[in-house]
């Protein structure tokens, strides 16, 4: 089984946020509006975080796109009382929207805060509603449940089905999440971390490679290449 992982090159990323927009269109996350976003209610499975250090004129800003880190040791899955969230056989941490009771313990447990909660029933302005992704895997979630980035698991399923329909073995390069596909700066890479031939394997072993909060032992599968 491929161990799906992502590498994001912070030298190439210029924070255009196309990844965030593509993720929203692919996964049907509801828009919150500026007021609610200021209140911390936005649902953005992929978010570009701004790490600001220092004071003007010596400020340093590091802009980091942050999907779910898809940890191999996910603390969020340990605390779910109903196994609504778990790491599946593809190594992707998924949420069962039909079982989630909305206790938000997983959301509190995640050291990266990648989990989002449906505070209200989702709503879209007409223009966005007309462009919802019809895939049933990403049907709009009901109010009261947790959701988060799934490395576009619906695309994985499609790719496997397509390979089977075409009578050929499934190859790891057949599938990539929407954010990776869209990235304007070609800063995001995706593939099998265990395949020595793959780009993500080689990049993840680069001296520039690091992971967020590595000391916490969560073993995230999203690697970053250090800026500069």
Nearer to other proteins, 43 or 153 (CB): 43
Give the integer Cα–Cα distance in Å for 65 and 131: 24
Nearer to other proteins, 143 or 168 (CB): 143
| Residues 28-57 close enough to bind other proteins by CB under 8 A | 39-42, 49-52
Write down the least CB distance from residue 113 to other proteins, Å.
Answer: 4
- DSSP states along 73-138: S-HHHHS-TT--EEE-TTS-EEE-TTT-----HHHHH-TT---EE-SS-----HHHHTT----GGG
Write down the least CB distance from residue 124 to other proteins, Å.
Answer: 16
Q: Is 121 in the site for other proteins (CB under 8 A)?
A: yes
Count of beta carbons in the 10 Å neighbourhood of residue 157: 14
Q: Is 102 in the site for other proteins (CB under 8 A)?
A: yes
User: Using omega within 30 degrees of 0 as the cis cutoff, is the peptide bond preceding 57 cis?
Assistant: yes
| Residues 136-195 close enough to bind other proteins by CB under 8 A | 142-146
What is the binding site for other proteins (CB under 8 A)? 39-42, 49-52, 75, 78-84, 99-105, 107-109, 111-113, 115-121, 142-146, 212-213, 216
């Amino acid at each position: 089984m491929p161990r799906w992982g992502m590498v994001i090159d912070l030298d190439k990323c210029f924070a255009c946020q196309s990844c965030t927009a593509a993720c929203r269109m692919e996964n049907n996350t509801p828009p919150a509006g500026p007021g609610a976003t200021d209140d911390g209610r936005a649902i953005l499975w992929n978010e570009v975080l701004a790490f600001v250090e220092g004071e003007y004129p010596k400020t340093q800003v590091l802009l980091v796109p942050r999907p779910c880190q898809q940890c191999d040791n996910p603390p969020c899955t340990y605390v779910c009382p109903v196994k609504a969230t778990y790491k599946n056989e593809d190594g992707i941490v998924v949420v069962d929207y039909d079982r989630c009771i909305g206790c938000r313990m997983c959301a509190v447990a995640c050291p990266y805060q990648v989990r989002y909660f449906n505070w209200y029933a989702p709503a879209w302005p007409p223009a966005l509603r007309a462009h919802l992704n019809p895939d049933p895997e990403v049907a709009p979630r009901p109010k009261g449940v947790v959701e988060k980035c799934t490395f576009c698991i619906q695309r994985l399923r499609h790719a496997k089905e397509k390979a089977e329909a075409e009578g050929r073995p499934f190859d790891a390069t057949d599938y990539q999440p929407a954010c990776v596909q869209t990235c304007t700066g070609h800063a995001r890479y995706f593939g099998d971390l265990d395949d020595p031939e793959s780009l993500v394997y080689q990049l993840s072993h680069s001296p520039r490679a690091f992971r967020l909060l590595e000391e916490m032992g969560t073993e995230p599968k999203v690697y970053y290449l250090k800026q500069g």
